[in-house]
Amino acid sequence: MKHYTLAEHKTFGIESGIPSGEVWKQVVKLGWMPEGILHNPDQAFNPERKEKQKEYHKKRRSTPEAKAKQKEFNKKRQSTSEYKAYKKEYDKKRWRNMK
């Protein structure tokens, strides 16, 4: 899926006849937005909002609960047969390259 820039979102809105944010929201609600066009481009491209999200996720990931949840997820993932086969193949390649 292609990711569009803010300028491309603006061009899409103008050429589609979407005059305002309110109409944009109505189009989103009706499900008429094409794939790749964001539902809230004004928020998605806002640098202040991105910085706040980064800080929030950084704080959230550092909590003991989040670390425990990640550890549990990794443990489950590493016990699958697909992961074990991948790890075996990876280790083979790694040892071959070290020689």
Give the pLDDT band (50/70/90) at residue 77: very high
Phi-psi region at 89: left, alpha or beta (left = phi > 0; alpha = psi -120 to 50): alpha
Query: What does the domain layout of the chain look like in residue ranges?
Result: 6-44, 47-98
Give the per-residue pLDDT at 36. Answer: 86
Q: What is the mean pLDDT of the segment spanning 34-62?
A: 90
Question: Which run of H or of E encompasses 70?
Answer: helix 64-78
For residue 97, pLDDT beyond 80:
no
Give the per-residue pLDDT at 23. Answer: 93
Q: Decide: helix, strand or coil at residue 89.
A: helix
Give the per-residue pLDDT at 3. Answer: 79
Give the pLDDT band (50/70/90) at residue 99: low
